[in-house]
Amino acid sequence: MKFFDFHTHLFSYDYFQGLFKISPLANDTEQLYNRILDAGIEIPPKNVQQQINLLYAQMEENNVDRIVSFASSPDEIPTLAALLPSNPRITGFAIFNPVAENALSVLDQLKEKNFKGLVLFPVMHRYFPQDPELAPIWDKIEKLGLIVTIHFGILKIKLRDLAGLPRTFGGQYSNPINLIEVADRHPGIKFIIPHFGGGYFRETLMLGANSQNIYVDTSSSNTWIEYQAAELTLADVFRKTRHVFGAKRILFGTDTGTLPRGYRTDVLEAQLKAMADARFTREEIHMVVYHNALELIGVVEPVVM
């Protein structure tokens, strides 16, 4: 069985350099590097293709055929864009701030650079998706045919914490139900809610029941399960998600990112077990881990398991 991982982060050398520039510890490079290294994280090689080749080797070990890679900061967008032409196994998504002054022109630039989708963080950039001032942004995204991964729920970015950046995230923007009006007004946009809603599982299910252009991704270790009011296992989460979304609107992801950990085989294995425990059929598992993603980015292959 092949896998298409729809949620990975590039976290390249350029990402780290950009992070260090805005860190309060920018004048103490040694301390900054030591904090990263002490956390068990390696700074990747300057040559990003070398980094990708390391990832490819791990992907081969796990039958991972393709990935979506996120450029997780503006500094990283040119880096990922340069990789895309010679790495057809990678589909590029770029971080995007719709409340930035030049947001409309940035959309055109990202499309020209062959990005298939956007990564949005309402909690980080502090906005409500349904804000009327953002209507031209959603119109443009729909016109350009860009896919939108939009992060809700609790937002913890370990690398930013290690760099000493203050958390200025707005919890009032964290509820995925805020997307319902935009999703209904823009049926041509495919929206993906990562991490099963990041703690807002019930609200994510409500959103998925209301809007057929909403998808959910399964990425990360999903520790949000621990603070739900009801006792849930990962199998329960998959079962309930299939009941509402159907197997066709679930996308496999691991949240793979930093070195040396590299590809998160543990997440892949835990999710396969959870789907088996939830009594997914082999065809449904294939849809979740591979076929749905291909279809979403416009590459349709025969269903072969």
Task: Spell out the domains of the chain, with CATH numbers in brackets.
Answer: 3-296 (3.20.20.140)
Q: Please report the pLDDT score of residue 64 as a whole number.
A: 98
Task: Count CB neighbours of 230 within 10 A.
Answer: 8
Phi, psi of 188 (to 5 degrees): -80, -10
Q: What is the model's pTM?
A: 0.96
- Are 176 and 200 in contact by the 8 Å Cβ rule? The answer is yes
Per-residue confidence in pLDDT tens, the chain, 305 aa: 999 999 999 999 999 999 999 999 999 989 999 999 999 999 999 999 999 999 999 999 999 999 999 999 999 999 999 999 999 999 999 999 999 999 999 999 999 999 999 999 999 999 999 999 999 999 999 999 999 999 999 888 999 999 999 988 989 999 999 999 999 999 999 999 999 999 999 999 999 999 999 999 999 999 999 999 899 999 999 999 999 999 999 999 999 999 999 999 999 999 999 999 999 999 999 999 999 999 999 986 654 44
Burial of residue 168 (number of CB atoms within 10 Å: 0-12, 13-18, 19+): exposed
Q: Please report the pLDDT score of residue 138 as a whole number.
A: 98
Crossing angle for the helix pair 135-144 and 103-112, to the nearest 10 degrees: 10
Sign of the C-alpha dihedral computed for residues 206, 212, 214 and 218 taken in this order: positive
3-state secondary structure 189-254: CCEEEHHHHCCCHHHHHHHHHHCCCEEEECCCCCHHHHHCCCCCCHHHHHHHHHHHHCHHHEECCC
Phi, psi of 2 (to 5 degrees): -95, 160
- Are 173 and 122 in contact by the 8 Å Cβ rule? The answer is yes
